[in-house]
């Protein structure tokens, strides 16, 4: 469910015509729906109401301060993977007690900042990292709360770049070494074991991989208990998929129903790290057609958005539905086209071999399901300023990130005096 639909002959976001947003802030631009964001969070949080739990929004999916504040006001924590994300989360008012720090390459400075902030826990990915956290915690006179991330070697049946729970993945500790690593953790003076963590991948469209991974993790919890190592938090990660095209992913309530029998009566608090499932279909990228070009073998629609604005199609061959903002375009003759941007790369495309109504210069298009891993992965490649982000609530437009200027592109750069 999302709040982007045709009304009065054009695409609306809640009560605002998308064409009005394009007129006021220009194109390209990202547009998010407040109603969709809150509805998705509440659906996920509410699905687990019968289980003690913490929702830690995976902010790598969308880290705009306004989105994070919205999540915090709804009661969410966040899953972070860098010091910069920690800074953003705190700036947005996320309680440190609901912040979980994941990632394989935490630096000493990042660990120190997180300890000083008083985060809920670190998801630890290796024995080397465990010792590093112990050392930093000793230097600041604190104990670090940790959960070891276990790699259960479960195939999530998703894109290989976003599969994280297989043996060949860089993430986590092999399940057959978990007991040994927990014994190491229990021997370190400045480490407090509080949890177990597993996250097997993103854009999962079946419940079965979640269940199979959780079975292994629950068995580990029981083994740890027998060794005298108590666990308070069971972090099941995130990864629930969304509909981009014809996928039919499970709903949060389906996941909750599958998980509940495995965790009930275990005196554990679940930690969950949903990202895409909350923000993915809550955002679109609005772009304007510049040219139509008939090549020798293909027809191209050249638009003002590019791979630097939304890299998922180029990086993952990801599908994003593309809709005309004006509903009248749907009556035009249809053609198979590549929708491409101005970036000087053959890999710069938003869609390939896509059947669309004829698109003429000036027409507005909406690239759907762009709320997750859209702006956060944007770059300044080809010295293109990053685009604005807009949050719509009811009939109001809120610019939550201004469009960058050319001056922003060179901020922080200097020309040495010897080149004067």
Examine the pLDDT at 410 and tell me if it is beyond 60.
yes
- State the chain's mean pLDDT as an integer: 92
Q: Does residue 266 share a domain with residue 190?
A: yes
Q: Does residue 195 share a domain with residue 158?
A: yes
> What was the pLDDT predicted at 166?
43
More confident residue, 38 or 240: 38
Domain total for the chain?
2
- Give catalytic status of residue 344 as yes or no: yes
Q: Does residue 108 share a domain with residue 152?
A: yes
Q: Is residue 319 marked as binding?
A: no
- Give tens-digit pLDDT for 37-77: 999 999 999 999 999 999 999 999 999 999 999 999 999 99
Give the end of a domain, one of 279, 300, 334: 279
> What was the pLDDT predicted at 157?
52
Q: What's the pTM?
A: 0.93
A 10 A CB-CB count for 66 gives 19
> What was the pLDDT predicted at 164?
43
Range 371-393 average pLDDT? 98
Cβ 276 vs Cβ 205: under 8 Å: no
> What was the pLDDT predicted at 246?
84
Q: Is residue 201 marked as binding?
A: no
Q: Could you list the residue range(s) of the whole structural domain that residue 203 is in?
A: 34-279
> What was the pLDDT predicted at 168?
53
C-alpha span between 148 and 228 (Å, rounded): 16
Of 226, 297, 331, 344, the catalytic one is 344
Q: Does residue 358 share a domain with residue 294?
A: yes
Range 214-233 average pLDDT? 90
Q: Is residue 316 marked as binding?
A: yes
> What was the pLDDT predicted at 213?
83
Q: Is residue 135 marked as binding?
A: no
A 10 A CB-CB count for 181 gives 18
Please report whether residue 150 resides in a domain. Answer: yes
Examine the pLDDT at 191 and tell me if it is beyond 60.
yes
CATH of the domain at 124: 3.20.20.10
Cβ within 8 Å of residue 407, ≥6 positions away: none
Examine the pLDDT at 158 and tell me if it is beyond 80.
no
> What was the pLDDT predicted at 231?
94
Question: Per-residue confidence at 156, pLDDT binned at 50, 70, 90?
Answer: very low
Question: Per-residue confidence at 170, pLDDT binned at 50, 70, 90?
Answer: low
**End-to-end C-alpha distance for the chain, whole angstroms:** 58
> What was the pLDDT predicted at 162?
39
- Give tens-digit pLDDT for 261-277: 888 888 999 999 999 99
HEC profile for the chain?
A: CCCEEEECCEEEECCEEHHHHHHHHCCCEEEEEHHHHHHHHHHHHHHCCCCCEEEEEECCCCCCHHHHHHHHHCCCEEEECCHHHHHHHHHCCCCHHHEEECCCCCCHHHHHHHHHHCCCEEEECCHHHHHHHHHHHHHCCCCEEEEEEEECCCCCCCCHHHECCCCCCCCCEEHHHHHHHHHHHHHCCCEEEEEEECCCECCECCCHHHHHHHHHHHHHHHHHHHCCCCCCEEEEECCECCCCCCCCCCCHHHHHHHHHHHHCCCCCEEEECCCHHHHHHHEEEEEEEEEEEECCCCEEEEECCCCCCCCHHHHHCCCCCEEECEHHHHHCCEEEEEEECCCCCCCCEEEEEEEEECCCCCCEEEECCCCCCCHHHCCCHHHCCCCCEEEEECCEEEEEECCCCHHHHCCCCCCCHHHC
Q: Does residue 160 share a domain with residue 136?
A: yes
Question: Cα separations (Å) of 124 from 58, 175, 230, 403?
Answer: 16, 14, 17, 37
% of the chain exceeding 70 in pLDDT: 95
Q: Does residue 344 share a domain with residue 241?
A: no
Angle in degrees, 0-180, between the axes of helices 34-47 and 65-73, rounded to the nearest 10: 40
Please report whether residue 415 resides in a domain. Answer: no
> What was the pLDDT predicted at 155?
53
Examine the pLDDT at 326 and tell me if it is beyond 60.
yes
> What was the pLDDT predicted at 416?
97
- Give tens-digit pLDDT for 95-119: 999 999 999 999 999 999 999 999 9
Question: Per-residue confidence at 364, pLDDT binned at 50, 70, 90?
Answer: very high
Please report whether residue 369 resides in a domain. Answer: yes
Q: Is residue 239 marked as binding?
A: yes
Q: Does residue 219 share a domain with residue 349?
A: no
Please report whether residue 212 resides in a domain. Answer: yes
Q: Is residue 295 marked as binding?
A: no
């Amino acid at each position: 469910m999302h709040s982007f639909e045709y009304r009065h002959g054009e695409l609306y976001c809640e009560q605002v015509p998308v064409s009005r947003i394009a007129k006021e802030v220009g194109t390209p631009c990202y547009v998010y729906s407040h109603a969709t964001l809150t509805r998705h969070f509440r659906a996920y949080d509410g699905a687990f109401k019968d289980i003690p739990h913490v929702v830690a929004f995976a902010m790598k999916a969308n880290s705009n301060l306004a989105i994070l504040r919205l999540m915090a006001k709804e009661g969410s924590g966040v899953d972070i993977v860098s010091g910069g994300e920690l800074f953003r989360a705190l700036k947005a008012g996320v309680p440190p007690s609901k912040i979980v720090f994941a990632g394989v390459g935490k630096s000493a400075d990042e660990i120190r900042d997180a300890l000083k902030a008083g985060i809920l826990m670190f998801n630890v990915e290796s024995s080397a990292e465990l010792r590093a956290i112990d050392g930093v915690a000793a230097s600041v006179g604190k104990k670090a709360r940790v959960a070891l991330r276990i790699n259960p070697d479960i195939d999530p049946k998703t894109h290989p770049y976003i599969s994280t729970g297989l043996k060949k993945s860089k993430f986590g500790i092999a399940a057959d070494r978990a007991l040994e690593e927990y014994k190491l953790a229990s021997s370190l003076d400045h480490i407090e074991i509080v949890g177990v963590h597993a996250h097997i991948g993103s854009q999962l469209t079946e419940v079965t991989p979640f269940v199979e991974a959780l079975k292994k993790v629950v068995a580990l919890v029981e083994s740890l208990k027998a060794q005298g190592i108590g666990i308070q938090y069971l972090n099941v990660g995130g990864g629930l998929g969304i509909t981009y095209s014809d996928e039919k992913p499970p709903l949060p309530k389906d996941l909750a129903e599958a998980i509940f029998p495995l965790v009930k009566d275990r005196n554990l608090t679940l930690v969950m790290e949903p990202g895409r499932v909350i923000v993915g279909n809550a955002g679109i990228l609005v772009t304007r057609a510049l040219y139509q070009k008939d090549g020798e073998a293909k027809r191209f629609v050249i638009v003002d958005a590019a791979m630097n604005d939304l890299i998922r199609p180029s990086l993952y061959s990801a599908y994003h539905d593309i809709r005309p903002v004006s509903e009248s375009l749907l009556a035009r003759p249809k053609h198979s086209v590549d929708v491409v941007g101005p970036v000087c790369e053959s890999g710069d495309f938003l869609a390939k071999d896509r059947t669309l109504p004829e698109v003429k210069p000036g027409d507005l298009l909406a690239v759907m399901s762009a709320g997750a891993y859209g702006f956060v992965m944007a770059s300044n490649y080809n010295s293109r300023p990053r685009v604005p982000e807009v949050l719509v609530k009811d009939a109001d437009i809120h610019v939550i990130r201004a469009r960058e200027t050319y001056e922003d592109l060179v901020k922080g750069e200097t020309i040495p005096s010897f080149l004067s």
